[in-house]
């Protein structure tokens, strides 16, 4: 039993009729084999087609020993004849990505000697792994050349050469091949052994766009989109750019300079804020004597500011110091000691501070934590106001 692969005869064909050779249950689904099919099975980095077969939905497709097995959500009657319809939007998208990958990978090989050592069509983009590192300027040149191949609307030839023809041909392949080999040829771009479905002409790819690249296992991992995905990516980014321009009150082509100016202004404000905070921290620390262990409750401080406050306190005393602040994420803290190890404090039944402003006599560490969290949560209704700075010490 073997399935006739109609998708090799015409990759644009989506409707067909075939006989059901076998249908068997697999969990909550069924596996159906036909005498012929237009449904492409997963393989070579390309996902499987989906669509309708008889009255059942085709959810996945795989090939084993020459038989194409369709995963369907309803059983099909063996011996019956069913009509199938491939999801054209999905097939077109996958062919745009796969044909575009051939063009780009072939040109990277021709221009820089880069071998494609990995390829996958995901739900959002295509990933390609190369054998060597490629510079951003080289990638830009390859992307330009790839789109010129698209604009030329070259024919894409898929053929099964004879063993003699194959031996004389120069083509890309990730591994040594046995048996019949299918070659996909795109003039001035690529000749590669491939079992996938491809568009008949490069113009149908629409556009090839590299989105990202990074070093990966001695080579590069490239992220790209083609065809409809490239258009969708452009629409999303244009909408985001328009929103950013509106927020910055600048046209879209001026967003980057405006963002840089805003970042510089923000950095200057942070520097000025840090300088003002440092003066405040010095004033708080000036109230501490060398024999005291200060606990400072200060509202609205960032983690970095808390750290600086704690370090400033530690410069005034050799005893334990703590700085706490309530914010949107709850109660934050920084603890330290100039010549001590603070790691054991959280395991101590009694903290090194007397929280006199919270309760008296001194409370265990866990109780102090509960009260301070209550202060952070309830604000003015808690024992300690959240809009003032409060300092307590142990004499």
27 CA to centre of own chain: 32
CA 19 to CA 34: how far, in whole Å? 6
List of E strands, the chain:
4-5, 15-26, 29-34, 36-37, 51-53, 56-64, 67-72, 81-86, 116-121, 126-130, 157-159, 183-186, 190-193, 208-216, 219-226, 293-297, 321-327, 330-336, 390-394
The structural domains of the chain, with segments of one domain joined by +, span 4-86, 92-235, 278-394
pLDDT attached to residue 42: 94
CATH 3.40.190.10 describes domain 4-86: no
| Residue 39 DSSP class | P
> In this predicted structure, what is the pLDDT of residue 251?
94
d(CA 107, CA 145): 8
Residue 3 CB coordination number (10 Å): 20
pLDDT along the chain (395 residues), means of 10: 94 97 95 98 94 96 96 96 98 98 97 95 96 97 98 96 88 78 95 95 98 96 98 96 95 94 96 95 90 83 91 89 74 80 58 39 43 44 43 47
In this structure, what DSSP letter does residue 46 have?
B
Half-sphere exposure of 288 (CA within 13 A, CB side): 31
Q: Is the bond preceding 282 in cis, omega lying within 30 degrees of 0?
A: no
Across-strand partners of 213?
222
Treating both helix axes as pointing N-terminal to C-terminal, what angle do 255-285 and 303-314 enclose, rounded to 10 degrees? Answer: 30
Nearest CA-CA partner of 118 in 219, 225, 226: 219
pLDDT value of residue 345: 58
Helix axes 136-151, 88-112, angle to 10 degrees: 130
Which residue reads 């003015």 in tokens? 380
- Looking at residue 297, what is its pLDDT? 82
Q: Answer whether 23's CB lies under 8 Å from 30's CB.
A: yes
Q: What is the pLDDT of residue 253?
A: 92
Whole-angstrom CA distances from 22 to 4, 34, 37, 45, 300 are: 15, 7, 14, 27, 70
DSSP state of 73: S
**Cα distances (Å, whole numbers) of residue 35 to 38, 78, 240:** 11, 11, 49
Residue environment code for 80-116, b if the CB has 16+ CB neighbours within 10 A, otherwise e: eebebebbeeebbbbbbbbbbbbbbbbbbbbebebeb
pTM exceeds 0.75 for this model: yes
Whole-angstrom Cα distance, residue 125 to residue 233? 10
The domain 92-235: what is its CATH number? Answer: 3.30.980.10
């Amino acid at each position: 039993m073997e399935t006739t692969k109609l998708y090799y005869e015409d990759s644009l064909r989506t409707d067909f009729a075939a006989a059901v050779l076998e249908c068997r249950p697999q969990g909550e689904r069924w596996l159906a084999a036909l005498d012929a099919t237009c449904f492409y099975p997963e393989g070579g980095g390309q996902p499987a087609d989906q669509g309708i077969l008889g009255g059942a939905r085709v959810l996945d497709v795989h090939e084993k020993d020459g038989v194409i097995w369709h995963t369907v959500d309803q059983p099909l009657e063996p011996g019956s004849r069913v009509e199938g319809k491939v999801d054209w939007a999905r097939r077109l998208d996958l062919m745009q990505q796969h044909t575009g990958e051939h063009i780009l990978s072939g040109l990277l090989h021709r221009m820089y000697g880069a071998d494609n050592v990995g390829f996958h069509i995901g739900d959002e983009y295509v990933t390609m792994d190369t054998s060597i590192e490629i510079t951003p300027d080289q990638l830009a040149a390859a992307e330009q050349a790839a789109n010129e191949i698209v604009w030329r609307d070259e024919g894409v030839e898929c053929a099964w050469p004879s063993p003699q023809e194959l031996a004389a041909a120069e083509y890309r392949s990730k591994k040594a091949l046995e048996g019949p080999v299918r070659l996909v040829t795109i003039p001035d771009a690529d000749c590669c052994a491939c079992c996938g479905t491809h568009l008949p002409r490069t113009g149908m790819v629409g556009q090839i766009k590299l989105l990202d690249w990074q070093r990966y296992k001695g080579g590069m991992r490239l992220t790209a989109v083609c065809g409809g995905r490239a258009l969708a990516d452009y629409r999303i980014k244009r909408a985001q750019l328009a929103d950013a321009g509106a927020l910055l009150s600048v046209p879209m082509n001026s967003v980057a300079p405006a963002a840089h100016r805003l970042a510089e202004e923000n950095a200057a404000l942070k520097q000025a804020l840090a300088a003002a905070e440092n003066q405040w921290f010095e004033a708080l620390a000036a109230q501490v004597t060398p024999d005291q262990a200060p606990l400072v409750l200060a509202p609205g401080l960032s983690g970095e500011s808390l750290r600086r406050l704690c370090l400033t306190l530690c410069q005034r005393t050799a005893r334990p110091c703590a700085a706490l602040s309530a914010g949107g994420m709850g109660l934050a803290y920084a603890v330290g000691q100039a010549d001590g190890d603070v790691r054991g404090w959280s395991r101590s039944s009694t903290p090194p501070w007397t929280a006199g402003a919270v309760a008296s006599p001194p409370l265990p560490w866990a109780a102090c934590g509960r009260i301070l969290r209550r202060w952070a949560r309830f604000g003015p209704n808690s024992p300690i106001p959240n809009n003032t700075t409060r300092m307590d010490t142990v004499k």
